């Protein structure tokens, strides 16, 4: 009984929220709009099953996901050490801040044109855009995390006999983990925006391409399948990040004890 009640307290609200979302959608498309341009969720689900059975949906899904993951991992792997260096050493920060402060205001969507000119319409341009949209957020959050470390954490390590390298790896790095994860979570959300925009403009497959084709051939149901897939995919990845932040952040708190 207790387990069921806990499950309800944890997920009951969610389930209800999602159910009401789809119910409202169903009602709105049946009675409010009542047009083929706004299909109800039941039709969209049927279409999704068809597209899933034929494998088309997964092809598009996998194409987008692969690009996001490649660019996101590469962008994070580049961004974390740069952010750590900027947060730790003032000269490095002074040197690199012009780059981050200038480039982060040029949205990745605006870079699509340049990316296509430089890298063509293949995978390279997409991965470049995802790296671009990931790296600055990860750098900024990592650097902020380093400067948020309580000075007493460093002082304690010094007077316990730790060397500078040990302080970096055993104190500064773990203390920054929640900030890095938060930066990556924000970057992941940006990656979704960027990949759809890039695929809308130039791609042979992907969820964005699916949207574009749907518009071109008036396949309204396909458009909605793509939209719902994007929503669910984004929701699932964000949950994963939230879960890992909650798991680590409690202990990895940079300022508190």
Comparing C-alpha atoms, which of 144, 145, 163 is closest to residue 154?
Answer: 163
Nearer to another protein, 172 or 210 (CB): 172
215 binds another protein (CB under 8 A): no
Least separation in angstroms between residue 81's CB and another protein is: 20
Stretch that binds another protein, among 59-67, 85-93, 163-171, 190-198 (CB under 8 A): 163-171
Nearer to another protein, 169 or 243 (CB): 169
Which residues are CB-neighbours of 181 under 8 A, at least 6 positions away?
Answer: 241, 244, 245, 248, 249
Tokens 């987008």 belong to which residue? Answer: 64
Considering only 5, 6, 94, 170, the residue that binds another protein (CB under 8 A) is: 170
107 binds another protein (CB under 8 A): no
175 binds another protein (CB under 8 A): yes
Least separation in angstroms between residue 145's CB and another protein is: 13
Least separation in angstroms between residue 176's CB and another protein is: 11
Cα separation, 250 vs 241, whole angstroms: 14
Least separation in angstroms between residue 171's CB and another protein is: 7
Which residues are CB-neighbours of 166 under 8 A, at least 6 positions away?
Answer: 157
Stretch that binds another protein, among 33-41, 102-110, 118-126, 148-156 (CB under 8 A): 148-156
Tokens of 144: 């902020």
Comparing C-alpha atoms, which of 216, 212, 215, 192 is closest to residue 204?
Answer: 212
168 binds another protein (CB under 8 A): no
Task: Count the Cβ atoms, other than its own, within 10 Å of residue 116.
Answer: 19
Directed axis angle between helix 173-201 and helix 220-249, to 10°? Answer: 170
Stretch that binds another protein, among 2-10, 40-48, 117-125, 147-155 (CB under 8 A): 147-155
Which residues are CB-neighbours of 82 under 8 A, at least 6 positions away?
Answer: 96, 135, 139, 142
Total binding residues toward another protein, as defined by CB under 8 A: 26
171 binds another protein (CB under 8 A): yes
Cα separation, 200 vs 185, whole angstroms: 23
164 binds another protein (CB under 8 A): no
Comparing C-alpha atoms, which of 172, 192, 183 is closest to residue 244?
Answer: 183
Stretch that binds another protein, among 3-11, 46-54, 166-174, 231-239 (CB under 8 A): 166-174
Least separation in angstroms between residue 181's CB and another protein is: 13
Q: Helices (H), strands (E): how many in the chain?
A: 12, 0
Q: 176-205 mask for another protein (x: CB under 8 A)?
A: -x----------------------------
Least separation in angstroms between residue 146's CB and another protein is: 15
């Amino acid at each position: 009984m207790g387990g069921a009640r806990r499950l309800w307290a944890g997920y009951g609200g969610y389930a209800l929220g999602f159910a009401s979302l789809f119910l409202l959608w169903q009602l709105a498309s049946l009675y409010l709009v009542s047009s083929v341009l706004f299909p109800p969720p039941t039709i969209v689900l049927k279409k999704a099953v068809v597209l899933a059975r034929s494998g088309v949906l997964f092809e598009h899904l996998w194409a987008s996901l692969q690009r996001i993951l490649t660019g996101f991992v590469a962008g994070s792997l580049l961004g974390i050490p740069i952010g750590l260096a900027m947060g730790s050493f003032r000269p490095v920060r002074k040197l690199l801040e012009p780059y981050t402060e200038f480039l982060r205001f040029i949205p990745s969507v605006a870079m699509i044109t340049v990316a296509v000119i430089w890298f063509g319409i293949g995978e390279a341009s997409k991965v470049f855009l995802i790296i671009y949209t990931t790296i600055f957020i990860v750098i900024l959050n990592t650097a902020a995390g380093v400067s948020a470390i309580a000075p007493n954490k460093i002082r304690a390590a010094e007077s316990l006999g730790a060397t500078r390298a040990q302080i970096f790896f055993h104190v500064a790095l773990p203390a920054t983990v929640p900030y890095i994860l938060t930066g990556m979570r924000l970057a992941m959300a940006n990656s979704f925006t960027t990949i759809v925009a890039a695929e809308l403009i130039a791609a042979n497959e992907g969820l964005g391409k699916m949207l574009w084709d749907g518009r071109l051939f008036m396949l309204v149901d396909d458009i909605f399948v793509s939209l719902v897939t994007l929503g669910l995919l984004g929701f699932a990845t964000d949950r994963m990040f939230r879960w890992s932040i909650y798991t680590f952040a409690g202990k990895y708190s940079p300022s508190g004890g």
